Amino acid sequence: MTAPEVCFEDLPAGRRIALGSVVVDRDEMLAFNRRFDPQPFHVDEEAARESLFGGLCASGWFTASLWMRCYVDGLLTRAASLGSPGGDEISWPAPVFPGDRLDAAMEVLAARVSASRPHLGLVTLLGTLTRDDGTPVYRGRFTGMFGRRDGAPAAAPGDPASP
């Protein structure tokens, strides 16, 4: 196994990375909505038209999941990612509709070595999705855990979420 291309040291505060784009597939969106978020404005065409959204729109969790896939493809597949304990912002400033083309991006807001586990770097990220007309539709701010380039040993099992 080759060493990851992107380690903690490669993600300093201020770094911005484009993560590609995705077009919202109606059938996949509906299948997701029906399974995980079957509210009328997510699954019923007529109810959605009469809702404040004006049409069938994506569950916020589908939108977040689309961003996640862009983040994996655009960064994590070549990074020493060790997961995430969570974040302190998730927002959906505008609804997402089938056919929308969304540009994914991320920005590093802060980066520090874990005090309790110095082999780990903690990176505060802002992930975004923006519709191609410029409308922001998703923001997620969270902590990503990344291995350091010096090859310090991996974290002990059983405590993945207390950096």
Residues lying near a copy of itself in the complex (CB under 8 A) are found at 32, 35-39, 41, 51-54, 59-61, 64-66, 68-69, 72, 76-77, 81-95, 139-140, 142, 154-162
Judged by beta carbon, residue 14 or residue 136, the one nearer a copy of itself is: 136
CB of 62 to a copy of itself, least distance (A): 8
Judged by beta carbon, residue 18 or residue 91, the one nearer a copy of itself is: 91
CA distance 103 to 132: 7
CB of 132 to a copy of itself, least distance (A): 18
Judged by beta carbon, residue 113 or residue 142, the one nearer a copy of itself is: 142
CB of 95 to a copy of itself, least distance (A): 6
CB of 61 to a copy of itself, least distance (A): 5
